[in-house]
Structure 1
Amino acid sequence: MKNYALVTGSADRIGKAVAIHLAKQGYNLVLHYNSSVEKAQKVKDEILSLPNSVEVELLQINFLKDNDFDQIFTELKEKEISIEILVNCASDFIPSNFKDQGSALFDKEMTINFKNPYLLTKAFANVFGTGNIINFVDTKVAKNSTVHLDYILSKKLLKDFTGISAVELAPNIRVNGIAPGLILPPEGKDESYLLNLAENIPLKTIGNLEEILKAVQFILDSKFFTGQILYIDGGEHLV
């Protein structure tokens, strides 16, 4: 049985960076994607080109459908794939507020950003029983003002679930979270957009993917660390 890390949303952005980082640390990878098969294949090819030979599997799952994650993990186990690290990184990020009518967006954001990490966590515990879980939330979970109402509600739930699961799954599974701040601009924006926002946070600068990867590595290396949220945000959650 070979140990693997499963990274959801690994075809792009933070998920891609985390997957490549873990491969550089010697972990075999299961790369989850939904529709971005070409991007996922490019990440796989990049990992396979690394000098420290690791194995890579692609895993297509549509998080908006009902999925039996226990069965999916059992099938991986039957292939001699043991998931040691689960990184819940896949997210959907759409603006919303109290004026929006209906529940369609609420259901979508809750399903992708909370329900699936919730179900994956339980399946991970049931099938594999030991390891590390890292949940990606958002620095704005510490606040109560937002222009992404449904998204932030889902991430606030994931933050609280991180603490609950850290208690329930200890001592065999450690569960922690990372809350990025101004790291990558949203689609359609550039770095200047982030730099303008950075004027309102304590450190008055923006972060980068390297800071996120340092947080990932700290969590994995720190055996006496669980149930915590690392805010990689230049102090944004404080103001």
Structure 2
Amino acid sequence: MKNYALVTGSADRIGKAVAVHLANQGYHLVLHYNSSKEKAEKLKNEIESIYENIKVELLQINFLKENDFNQIFKDLKKKKVIVDLLVNCASDFIPSNFEEEGSELFEKEMTINFKNPYLLTKAFASVFGKGNIINFIDTKATKNSTVHLDYILSKKLLSDFTKISAVELAPHIRVNGIAPGLILPPEGKDESYLLNLAKNIPLKSIGSLDEIVKAVQFILDSTFFTGQILYIDGGEHLV
């Protein structure tokens, strides 16, 4: 039996798919959520009903507030919740460009998408000292033309931080990233929105959550693999 995996933003979408996959692989889970308490509780119940030996803890954290992640991890450790996999999946995706005034959106995107994975990584290394970290980035982080300026800046930082962390935290912690492309439509859009965008990428098709969990599993299985970004994007980052 494995130790615990902490998945941020685990109540829905990619985070949920990753959490279910990890339970299937024998990980106990710490499911992080902010406001999606009902969804998180439902997921906890679903996992515990399917996998009788899997323990699931719920962890509510608002990433827009100041949080003492070292203390949060120490409290988990006191409860014998030993985390050896941190999946930084929670993110905020809001359009922006050079016409927006002020720094409010910039600060929000940086806080949720970069600052919190940064702080969680440091706390994980300090309190638990070994294991794996997987950061969810975005294939668009390779681009310099965007209608999501603040979001993409935060993901570019997270991409570079993934590589820095892989060097600084080795050999006891491996750090890698996954950069999804056309996997799930944004809220308010449907699959046809993705299919239209897919016309412009090399494979001219869209991906699935199954492709994401395959990437997660590859990282976990590949013990000589660190500091890498897996682009699950049909070649989108190449064009």
TM-score, normalising length from structure 1?
0.99
Q: d(CA) in 2 for partners of 1:83 and 1:155?
A: 24
RMSD: 1.0
Q: Which residue pairs with 1:14 in the alignment?
A: 14
Letter in 2 for 1:198: A
Letter in 2 for 1:98: F
Q: Which residue pairs with 1:35 in the alignment?
A: 35
Can you list the C-alpha shifts for 1:183-202, whole angstroms capped at 9, x where unaligned?
00000000000000000000
Q: d(CA) in 2 for partners of 1:202 and 1:43?
A: 35
Do residues 212 (structure 1) and 190 (structure 2) align? Answer: no
Letter in 1 for 2:223: K
Check whether the contact 1:174–1:225 (CA below 8 A) recurs between aligned residues: yes
Q: d(CA) in 1 for partners of 2:234 and 2:5?
A: 28
Check whether the contact 1:177–1:229 (CA below 8 A) recurs between aligned residues: yes
Deviates more, 1:35-44 or 1:50-59: 50-59
Check whether the contact 1:24–1:52 (CA below 8 A) recurs between aligned residues: no
Can you list the C-alpha shifts for 1:162-190, whole angstroms capped at 9, x where unaligned?
00000000000000000000000000000
Letter in 1 for 2:214: K
Letter in 2 for 1:65: K
Q: Which residue pairs with 2:111 in the alignment?
A: 111
Q: Which runs of 5+ in 1 are unaligned?
A: none
Between the two proteins, what is the percent identity of the paired residues? 82
Q: d(CA) in 2 for partners of 1:4 and 1:51?
A: 14
Q: Which runs of 5+ in 2 are unaligned?
A: none
Q: d(CA) in 2 for partners of 1:153 and 1:64?
A: 18
Q: d(CA) in 2 for partners of 1:166 and 1:46?
A: 34
Q: Which runs of 4+ in 1 moved over 2 A?
A: none
Letter in 2 for 1:236: E
TM-score, normalising length from structure 2?
0.99
Corresponding residue SS for 2:84: strand
Corresponding residue SS for 2:3: strand
Can you list the C-alpha shifts for 1:8-58, whole angstroms capped at 9, x where unaligned?
000000000000000000100000000100000111011112145200000
Aligned length: 239
